[in-house]
């Protein structure tokens, strides 16, 4: 992995992963009527990693965060874990593709929006395929899409400000 | 000069956001359309409509499928295949359907029972 050649890069991936795990656990403590209707603050760590270090380190951060986060919240190998893994990997893929092909077309906000909507749509499809074999779950699509857009905007905006502050501090 | 809150965002972000909101709006509209009750039942055998019934009038219709006979019953604004000449009876187990866009399918008999609504009534229901 090209970006993980120096101790500095390894330290950064470790730090961004731990921030992601902390956000993942903190957000899981907030009670919600529907378990998968959340803003996805943990994705701040993925977006920042993608912008600072590139695609491969982001995948590392996402995988480590989902596994460690689920271990801490006691959700490892539960249906929720399956959703977190599939949603996390799909959104990481979509963000990596947009980051690679989009060039300067999108800021962290656009990348986060793509990731968040991919996340919710993937989760819904996985629920449809594995857990509820009924078209009926598709009525959730509008709600999930809207929550994905709100979450994606929020997370993207925070990531953008964070990257700006980091850049000001000489971290690029 | 852009608003400080928007600093760093791109035109691409705005276009993407607009497209996503459009998709969300479209899925809401599609959801509302699904909720509208159906008006008519169309029975298709091997892709051809062979029988049309009103959902508002109770009826019991015998349909010749590719393999055998099916009985489609309409009652209380709902339709169901109540018996069918097929091995698994997926169509019968689908049960009663009432909303526009619903379908009951019998694959061995190549039969599709579609419930259709009147689009203008659906729109009236939303604005009303």
Residue B75 Cα, gap to closest chain A Cα (Å):
22
Residue-level pLDDT at A33? 63
**The domain spanning residue A11 has which CATH number?**
1.10.1760.20
B70: Cα within 13 Å, side-chain hemisphere: 31
Does A139 sit within 8 Å of B13, measured CB to CB?
no
Tell me the C-alpha to C-alpha distance, in Å, between residue A104 and each of A131, A162, B12, B53, B68.
39, 18, 9, 57, 62
Does B32 contact A at CB distance below 8 Å?
no
Question: How many Å apart are CA A159 and CA A100, to the nearest integer?
Answer: 18
Q: Where is pLDDT greater, at A4 or B3?
A: B3
In a domain, residue A1? The reply is no
A113, A146, A163 ranked by CB distance to B16: nearest: A113
Residue-level pLDDT at A34? 59
The structure tokens listed for B106 are 């019998």
Interface with chain A: mutation pick from B7, B10, B115, highest number of A CBs within 10 Å: B10
Does A105 sit within 8 Å of B8, measured CB to CB?
no
B13, B17, B23 ranked by CB distance to A145: nearest: B23
Calculate the dihedral angle through the C-alpha atoms of A96, A101, A106, A109, rounding to the nearest 10 degrees. Answer: -10
DSSP chain B: ---GGGTT--HHHHHHHHHHHHHHHHHHHHHHHHHSBP-EEEEEETTEEEEEEESSS-EEEEEE-SSSEEEEEEETTEEEEEEESSSS-HHHHH--B-BTT-EEEETTTTEEEEEE--HHHHHHHHH-
Residues 60-119 in A contacting B (C-alpha not used; CB under 8 Å): 102, 104-110, 113-114, 117
DSSP chain A: -GGGSSHHHHHHHHHHHHHHHHHHHHHHHS--SSTT----TTHHHHHHHHHHH-HHHHHHHHHHHHHHHHHHHT-TTSHHHHHHHHHHHHHHHHHHHHHHHHTTS--HHHHHHHHHHHHHHHHHHHIIIII--SGGGGGGHHHHHHHHHHHHHHHHHHHHHHHHHHHHTT--
Residue A86 Cα, gap to closest chain B Cα (Å):
21
pLDDT tens by residue, A78-118 = 888 898 899 999 999 999 999 999 878 999 999 999 999 99
Residue A128 lies in domain:
7-168
The number of domains in chain A is 1
Q: What is the mean pLDDT of residues B4-27?
A: 92
In a domain, residue A80? The reply is yes
Does B48 contact A at CB distance below 8 Å?
no
Give this complex's ipTM: 0.88
Residue of B nearest to A117 (CA): B20
What predicted TM-score, i.e. pTM, was given to this entire model?
0.69
Kindly report the length of chain B.
128
pLDDT tens by residue, B51-107 = 999 988 899 999 998 889 999 999 988 899 999 988 888 889 888 988 877 888 888
Does B7 contact A at CB distance below 8 Å?
yes
Tell me the C-alpha to C-alpha distance, in Å, between residue A93 and each of A60, A61, A150, B22.
12, 13, 20, 23
Does B12 contact A at CB distance below 8 Å?
yes
In a domain, residue A2? The reply is no
Residue-level pLDDT at A103? 78
In a domain, residue A17? The reply is yes
Which chain B residues contact residue A145 at CB under 8 A? 20, 23-24, 27
Would you write out chain A's pLDDT as a tens digit for each of its 172 residues?
Answer: 455 778 888 999 999 999 999 999 998 888 776 555 788 899 999 999 999 999 999 999 999 999 999 999 888 888 888 988 999 999 999 999 999 998 789 999 999 999 999 999 999 899 888 876 666 667 778 888 999 999 999 999 999 999 999 999 988 7
In a domain, residue A147? The reply is yes
In a domain, residue A109? The reply is yes
In a domain, residue A54? The reply is yes
Residue-level pLDDT at B128? 40
B9, B23, B31 ranked by CB distance to A109: nearest: B9
B13, B31, B34 ranked by CB distance to A107: nearest: B13
Question: How close are the terminal C-alpha atoms of chain B, in Å?
Answer: 44
Does B4 contact A at CB distance below 8 Å?
no
Sequence-separated (6 or more) residues with CB below 8 Å from residue A119: A40, A43, A87, A88, A90, A91, A148
In a domain, residue A97? The reply is yes
Residue-level pLDDT at A143? 85
A102, A107, A149 ranked by CB distance to B9: nearest: A107
């Amino acid at each position: 992995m090209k970006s993980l050649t120096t101790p500095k890069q390894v330290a950064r991936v470790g730090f961004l992963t731990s921030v992601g795990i902390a956000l993942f656990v903190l957000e899981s403590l907030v009670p919600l009527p529907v378990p998968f209707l959340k803003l996805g603050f943990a994705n701040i760590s993925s977006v920042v990693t993608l912008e600072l270090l590139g695609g491969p380190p982001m995948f590392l951060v996402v995988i480590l965060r989902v596994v460690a986060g689920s271990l801490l919240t006691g959700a490892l190998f539960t249906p929720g874990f399956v959703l977190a893994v599939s949603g996390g990997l799909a959104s990481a893929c979509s963000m990596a593709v947009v980051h690679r092909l989009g060039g300067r077309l999108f800021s962290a906000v656009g990348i986060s929006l793509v990731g968040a909507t991919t996340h919710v749509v993937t989760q819904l499809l996985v629920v449809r395929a594995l857990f509820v074999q009924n078209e009926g779950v598709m009525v959730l699509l509008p709600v999930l899409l809207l929550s994905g857009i709100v979450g994606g905007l929020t997370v993207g905006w925070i990531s953008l400000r964070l990257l700006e502050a980091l850049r000001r501090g000489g971290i690029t | 000069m852009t608003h400080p809150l928007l600093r760093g965002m791109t035109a691409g972000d705005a276009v993407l956001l607009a497209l996503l909101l459009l998709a969300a709006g479209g899925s809401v509209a599609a959801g509302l359309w699904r909720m509208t009750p159906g008006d008519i039942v169309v029975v298709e055998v091997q892709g051809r409509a062979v029988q049309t019934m009103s959902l508002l009038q109770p009826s019991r219709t015998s349909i010749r499928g590719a393999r055998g006979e099916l009985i489609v019953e309409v009652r209380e604004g709902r339709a169901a295949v109540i018996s069918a000449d097929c091995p698994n009876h997926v169509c019968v187990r689908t049960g009663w359907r009432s909303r526009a866009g619903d379908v009951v399918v019998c694959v061995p008999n190549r039969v599709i029972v579609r419930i259709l609504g009147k689009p203008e009534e659906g729109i009236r229901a939303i604005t009303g």
